[in-house]
Amino acid sequence: MIAMILAAGRGTRMGPLTDTLPKPLLDVRGTPLIERLVGQLADAGFSDVVINIAHLGDLIRRHLGDGGRFGIRIRYSDEGPVGLETGGGILRALPYLTSDPFLVVNGDVYSDYPFARLPRRLAGLAHLVLVDNPPHHPHGDFALEHGMVRDRPPRLTFAGIGVYRAALFGAPRGERFPLAPLLRDAARLGRVTGEHYRGLWTDVGTPERLRQLNQGISS
């Protein structure tokens, strides 16, 4: 299965930290977020990784190269100076995502989730990893009922880790669009499975959360 890391976001909530550095290259305990993710994927048996880039994307390309030092192949989907959001970024990268299904993980996720346990076959269109709602997102995103993801309360938070089939992106929505509406539509049709992960997970979306991680505090 091919894996994709979403790394094209501007990271505006990080303030001046991302004026000269893309968010996935921010260090957590001495290692850039995206480098840690690439290493985790390699350890889990993924040999082919696609990374979408936009804001300061050449710095990511320069840092990771072709993936040889990790024992994998890395390819880049360049979206230009302005990213295409999550859904548009995946759609643009589909020519590289030749496995069906494929894994997508947000480039600002800091977690010990075991990627090797993700399903290699899907009954529906997507499989999502959900986590307990963090303080900054108390209302969550989706419900999980007997292994099926539902678009209703009570809700858990989408971890930014999902396995998708290309058919999820079949309906034209323009070039730039978010992923969440596609997932909600598929969930309403009963075509999304999921799991509840209770281990380490943080969305490194603000300077405060980055500081907490570097001080050994997880949220």
Counting Cα atoms < 13 Å in the Cβ hemisphere of 152 gives 6
- The gap from C-alpha 171 to its chain's centroid, in whole angstroms, comes to 21
Verify cis geometry, omega within 30 degrees of 0, for the bond prior to 135: no
Digit-by-digit pLDDT tens for the chain (219 residues) are 999 999 999 888 888 888 999 999 999 999 999 999 999 999 999 999 999 999 899 999 999 999 999 999 999 999 998 899 999 999 999 999 999 999 999 999 999 999 999 999 999 999 999 999 999 999 999 999 999 999 999 999 999 999 999 999 987 678 999 999 999 999 999 999 999 999 999 999 899 999 999 988 654
What tokens appear for 194 in the block? 């999921």
Topology annotation, domain 3-214:
Spore Coat Polysaccharide Biosynthesis Protein SpsA; Chain A (3.90.550)
Give yes or no for a contact between 20 and 204, defined as CB atoms under 8 angstroms apart.
no
Distance CA 191, CA 41 (A): 26
Distance CA 217, CA 206 (A): 14
Query: In angstroms, what CA-CA distances link 13 with 23, 32, 111?
Result: 10, 18, 20
Report pLDDT for 218.
56
Report pLDDT for 217.
63
Report pLDDT for 171.
74
Q: Is-above-0.85 flag for pTM? A: yes
Give yes or no for a contact between 56 and 31, defined as CB atoms under 8 angstroms apart.
no
Report pLDDT for 12.
81
Residues 6+ apart with CB under 8 A from 131: 156, 157, 159, 196, 197, 198, 201
Report pLDDT for 216.
82
